[in-house]
Amino acid sequence: MFTVFGVAYSFGEFFGPMADEFGSDRSETALFFALTTFAYFALGIVTGRIADRHGPRRVVLFGATAMTIGLLLTAEVGSIQLGYLTYGLGVGFGVACCYVPMVATVGGWFEARRTLALGLAVAGIGTGTLVMVPLVEWVIDNQGWRDAYRLLAIMTAVLLTVAAIGAHRPPTSAASPVPIREAIRGRVDFWILYVSSILISITLFTPFVFLADYIDTVGGTGSAAVLLGLIGMSSIAGRLGFGAVAARIGITGLYQLSFLVLSLSVLLWIVADTSYSLLILFAVVLGVAYGGFIALSPAVVAVRFGVVGMGGVLGALYTAAGVGGLVGPPTIGVIIDASGHTAAQITALVSGLLGTALLLTMRPPPTPA
């Protein structure tokens, strides 16, 4: 989680330098991130199913290879369109081979304290953001964005190989997984989760892609890398905190709360303008809610659909985030180019609130976590 999302969520630092070199507008540059996000969430339904059947180790090793090659090729591209292919497929496959398979693997190894274990596992996402984004910013400032991709490729090859060594198949995988279509057939709760995830993902990905561009445009002081790092650091607290108390409060209610807080955090961004202190507060609130959302998603799936075949069901649900990631950033980019950042922020806020309202219609599961 540290490696693949540290790479993926550092893209905001590449946004400006790549747009300047290739002469692309915000929507075209944001499509770079959008295609990658769609790829890794959409492919999760495939990689999760393969990991259910054959175990996670070979899947992670394949992802390490694809991601390393993709990053090295991206460092050499001469057009942003070619980068769509090299980065989109490379990083897209890499994250897809690690995220759903490894989250499902952790879920399969734990029962009594599964939510806490999952929170610990996905805390790597926040840690990766916290460490990688400032590192990438420093390398870009001193060596350029191409060398930054080369460094990320080396780190990816080493760290994912180490991770694959420790990726053991859980004992629950011995049971035959129920086909995904049967697992979700007639389940209204799945489709509530799915559509609400699309809407909240649009809200979530907006700052990851456009926060650096926002600071450059409004002329604010302070570093976007620090803010993105704060989102990552705060998300660790959210993942661990939400995961630890979910069994006491109830996973469904806590999950709904994370959606609401994530959505409302955009209000802080809207009123912040050039106030860096308010932007810091926004980053912290968003990070905590985002951490809860990510930590609780697999736990919600485990409670409602079981852990046998969890990789396939979780992968199916995560295609929703892929749709949100594909549609959201380019659309937000168009809105910024046409009407400015405030209109885009309001769009992100409304999308999140709609997703929250839909999620609030979902009833708690009949049995406790």
Name the phi and psi angles at 91, rounded to 5. Answer: -70, -35
pLDDT of residue 97: 92
pLDDT of residue 368: 45
What range does the domain containing 119 cover? 2-167+179-359
Cα-based torsion angle of the residue sequence 113, 115, 120, 124 in order, rounded to the nearest 10 degrees: 150
Whole-number Cα distances in Å, 256 to 26, 248, 250, 260: 32, 15, 10, 6
Question: CB-side exposure of 295: number of CA atoms within 13 Å?
Answer: 36
Q: Can you give the pTM of this predicted structure?
A: 0.73
Instruction: For the chain, give the number of residues.
Output: 369
pLDDT tens, residue by residue, 273-292? 888 899 999 999 999 998 88
pLDDT tens, residue by residue, 303-316? 777 766 666 777 78
Q: How far apart are CA 74 and CA 108, in angstroms?
A: 35
Residue 172: inside a domain = no
Q: What CATH number does residue 326 fall under? A: 1.20.1250.20
Q: Look up residue 21 and give its two tokens.
A: 């070199």
Residue 51: inside a domain = yes
Residue 102: inside a domain = yes
pLDDT of residue 65: 95
Q: State the total domains in the chain.
A: 1
Residue 364: inside a domain = no
Cβ atoms within 10 Å, residue 180: 20
Q: Which of 178, 200, 195, 158 is nearest to 290 (CA)?
A: 200
Residue 369: inside a domain = no
DSSP 223: -
Whole-number Cα distances in Å, 328 to 138, 205, 260: 28, 7, 19
Residue 368: inside a domain = no
Residue 366: inside a domain = no
Cβ atoms within 10 Å, residue 313: 30
pLDDT of residue 57: 92
pLDDT of residue 147: 96
Name the phi and psi angles at 362, rounded to 5. Answer: -80, 130
pLDDT of residue 273: 82
pLDDT of residue 296: 82
pLDDT of residue 369: 41
Cβ atoms within 10 Å, residue 40: 29
**Helix locations, the chain, DSSP H:** 2-8, 11-22, 26-42, 44-54, 57-74, 80-109, 114-143, 145-165, 180-184, 188-218, 224-249, 251-272, 276-305, 310-339, 341-359
Residue 160: inside a domain = yes
Which residues of the chain fall below pLDDT 70?
A: 172-180, 182-186, 220, 242-244, 246-249, 307-311, 364-369
